[in-house]
Structure 1
Amino acid sequence: MKKVVISYSREDEEFKEQLISHLSGLVNRGVIETWHNRDIVAGDVRAGEVDQNINQASVVILMVSPEFIGSEYCYAEEMKHALRLHEDGCVRVIPLRLRPCDIEGAPFEQLKCIPEQRWISQYADRDSAFLEVIEEIKIAIKEVVPKKELALRERRELNHEFSKWLNDTEVVLKSRATEVIELDDIYVYPDLRSLDSSDDNFIETSSSRLAEAEGYTLVLGEEQSGKTAFAKSLFKSCFENNKKPVFINAEDGNESNISELCNEAIKAQYEDINDLSEINKSDRFLIIDNFSRISLNKKHQNILLAGIEGEFNTCVILAADSR
């Protein structure tokens, strides 16, 4: 079953419900499932939950209207995240021309917008307009799935035991619906804030976006706050985006040579990669957990960090917040 995510402004709730009604045939036949936010205003929803559903989507519908274009969260965050995945061939973004507004220069301007002739609000018979939308969604689902399957065939395979560890919640959970509850079944990416933000005034950003970022990021959190679960989910997101992530638990080793550390980790995590040199530098993504528990002295920590900078363009380090 493929997921269709609907991105809309709360002023267009009526139109969204009409679209949901027209999608019910595909839903009832088990072809798709739908997901949407009832309120798109920033601060009313968790950014991590939105990103997670967009990451899982085959199709993202942008319900374009003046309020949609004017929404900072919807326009600047949610839509741009979907368009990045569209460019990678992981999702198909369909701009739905809902109510007339100026879209010149919009990031989706070059995409095929539907309906092509008029805005939906200008139709005397809106059912006919929505039927055109449904037909486009059917085509999109068929187009996007082969791209995902191709990506799966091309990417390296993970070691079976390591994959099991990635999916392990590390706590005992029970459900009547399934015998085994995996991390993906329950995990929601946490929101992060900048270290230099004040306690009373800060902007939250979803940690899921780190999978698409470049550069070096330090994530601090209290003990038992879910940093390892985040590291696991981040690894899987990077891997699904055709990166070659490497996970290192700083607590387990006392080696300052980053290449040696990575080579050992790669052999345990991948089936057909044995050495860091086999991975293009642009595809490398290093994740280090428990850095606050590392046994190296300051001198060798600096050697390790210098080595990371030389071998990786992107690295996320997780550590306990001792402030």
Structure 2
Amino acid sequence: MTDSSLSKVQIFTSYAHEDEELKNEMDKYLKVLKRSGKIDTWNDRALIAGQEWNDSIMDELRKADVILLLISVDFNASDFIWDKELAEAMRRHEEGSVYVVPIILRNCKWTSLPYAKLQALPRNARPILDYPDRDTAFTEVAEGIERLVDHIIAK
């Protein structure tokens, strides 16, 4: 964990704005971890007027203990995500300074991309929108993230 986090795991969410509704839904399932004091989360909607968005995003990305990649065709198509966020996430993963977790939101081609080697959520990398009940999918995601957070805190 970073020095500034003390006891909380810092989570950065990388997502395409086309998937904002699904990101917001996932955030509800992470609220239990926030309320328990285990995590703080950040995504680009936390930017405030007057902030330099590129620098702020990259600063938050570098402070994260966990980076969630919300995978969809729009995520994979975003030049900013590919060139900036994903490049930094995978660089930090390779150096061992962050956990990167792909969360498969929608069915798309992703198994040949750099993050495909990482254990994804939900279980068996089944896209969330393929579940007949989204509550089940998001609960699996939240439980997987909680196991990771507990692992990080125990270190």
Q: TM-score, normalised by structure 1?
A: 0.42
Q: Quick check: 1:125 aligned with 2:125?
A: no
Give distance in 2, aligned partners of 1:117 and 1:83: 19
Deviation at 1:91, TM superposition (A): 1.1
Instruction: Note the alpha carbon deviations across 1:260-291, whole angstroms, 9 max, x for none.
Output: xxxxxxxxxxxxxxxxxxxxxxxxxxxxxxxx
Deviation at 1:57, TM superposition (A): 1.1
Residue number in structure 1 paired with 2:77: 70
Identity %: 34
Larger gyration radius, structure 1 or structure 2: 1
Residue number in structure 1 paired with 2:59: 52
Q: Which amino acid in the other structure matches residue 14 of structure 2?
A: S
Residue number in structure 2 paired with 1:5: 12
Asked if the contact 2:66–2:99 (Cα under 8 Å) also holds between the matched residues in 1, the reply is yes
Q: Which amino acid in the other structure matches residue 121 of structure 1?
A: L
Cα RMSD of the aligned pairs, angstroms, is 2.0
SS at match of 2:13: strand
Give distance in 1, aligned partners of 2:21 and 2:69: 15
Q: Quick check: 1:107 aligned with 2:90?
A: no
Q: Quick check: 1:93 aligned with 2:61?
A: no
SS at match of 2:70: strand
Residue number in structure 2 paired with 1:26: 33
Deviation at 1:50, TM superposition (A): 1.1
Residue number in structure 1 paired with 2:3: none
Point out the structure with the larger helix share: 2
Asked if the contact 2:67–2:100 (Cα under 8 Å) also holds between the matched residues in 1, the reply is yes
Instruction: Note the alpha carbon deviations across 1:171-230, whole angstroms, 9 max, x for none.
Output: xxxxxxxxxxxxxxxxxxxxxxxxxxxxxxxxxxxxxxxxxxxxxxxxxxxxxxxxxxxx
SS at match of 2:139: helix
Aligned pair count reads: 143
Give distance in 1, aligned partners of 2:72 and 2:130: 13
Residue number in structure 1 paired with 2:44: 37
Residue number in structure 1 paired with 2:86: 79
SS at match of 1:87: helix
Unaligned ranges ≥5, structure 2: 1-7, 47-51
SS at match of 2:114: coil
Give distance in 2, aligned partners of 1:119 and 1:91: 23
Deviation at 1:145, TM superposition (A): 5.0
Q: Which has the higher contact order (CA 8 A, sep 6+)?
A: 2
Residue number in structure 1 paired with 2:5: none
Residue range with higher mean Cα deviation, 133-142 or 100-109: 133-142
Asked if the contact 2:12–2:68 (Cα under 8 Å) also holds between the matched residues in 1, the reply is yes
Q: TM-score, normalised by structure 2?
A: 0.84
Give distance in 2, aligned partners of 1:119 and 1:142: 24
Asked if the contact 1:9–1:71 (Cα under 8 Å) also holds between the matched residues in 2, the reply is yes
Residue number in structure 2 paired with 1:221: none
Deviation at 1:134, TM superposition (A): 1.1
Asked if the contact 1:5–1:61 (Cα under 8 Å) also holds between the matched residues in 2, the reply is yes
Instruction: Note the alpha carbon deviations across 1:111-148, whole angstroms, 9 max, x for none.
Output: 1111125210111111111111112112222334566x
